[in-house]
Amino acid sequence: MGRIAMLMNRAETLLVNSTPRRWLQRFYEIQVLLRFGGRLLPRARALEIGCGSGYGSQLVLERFGAGRVDAVDLDPAMIERAGQRLARYGDRVRLAQGSATDLRSALNAGDSDYDAVFDFGIVHHIPDWRAAIAEVGRVLVPGGRFYFEEVTAHALARPIYQRLFDHPTEDRFTAEQFIDELAHHGLVVLGSVTRISGDYLLGVAAKPIPARSDG
């Protein structure tokens, strides 16, 4: 199992749960991801890694149209908050405490279990981020899609990030390294990736459907 994610400190927890951050996510980031990857089929099973207080999973249900969402987070306090937020969706939501680098332990996630995986800025918190990408590739069905919004090493090197937030200090990924790692695990970027000032990237990658053999 890869090294688990670092918990967000108080400053970052306040930021990601703030009204401006949620407006940005709902009215800009989600629009970009929908343009690249589209909505899901009504019966689609989705996974959110690093679900926090559950706002992302709510968007996966309401904006992307997932039939069911499984969500995992390392912080038990966040799982409790997510449970309160998502209670009205009943058995369409399953929450679990655990690491994105070991989804089998956290959710008993087998190979090809999910039609979509969502990463709303969690992979850069994981020291062994490559293990998290490998898990995404493993649990996606052929034809499944990985929707990602991430923070790069370029942003994490900025003084304001270093002063306010806690992140892994080694093996941070650039946008190019993140995209290369997707390809290493057989995930193909759909269209292009939106890059913002070299600091952030948004995109969707798909797990190809194996070619049929007529033999």
pLDDT digits (tens, 9 = 90+) for 117-126: 999 999 998 9
- Over 50: is that where the pLDDT of 29 sits? yes
Output the pLDDT for position 20. 80
Residues 139, 105: Cα–Cα separation, whole Å? 13
Domain count, the chain: 1
173 and 129 Cβ atoms separated by less than 8 Å: yes
Instruction: Please check whether residue 101 lies inside any domain of the structure.
Output: yes
**pLDDT tens-digit map of 4-18:** 555 555 555 655 667
Residue with tokens 């655990």: 98
126 burial type by CB count under 10 A (0-12 exposed, 13-18 middle, 19+ buried): buried
CATH code for position 82: 3.40.50.150
Helix locations, the chain, DSSP H: 10-16, 19-24, 30-37, 55-62, 76-85, 103-107, 129-139, 153-156, 159-164, 175-184
Domain span holding position 125: 10-206
Q: How many alpha carbons lie under 13 Å from residue 190 in its C-beta half-sphere?
A: 20
Whether 201 is covered by a domain: the verdict is yes
Q: Is residue 59 part of a domain?
A: yes
Q: Tokens 């706002």 map to which residue? A: 55
| pLDDT 10s digits, 148-195 | 999 998 877 776 665 655 556 678 999 999 999 999 999 999 999 999
Distance between CA 144 and CA 205 in Å, rounded?
9
Neighbouring CB atoms inside 10 A of 182's CB total: 22
Confidence class for position 3, pLDDT limits 50, 70, 90: very low
CA distance 127 to 148: 17
Q: Residue 214, Cβ neighbours under 10 Å: how many?
A: 4
Local structure of 201: helix, strand or coil: strand
Helix (H) / strand (E) containing 148 = strand 140-151
Residue 213 counted as domain residue? no
Does residue 179 lie within any of the structural domains? Answer: yes
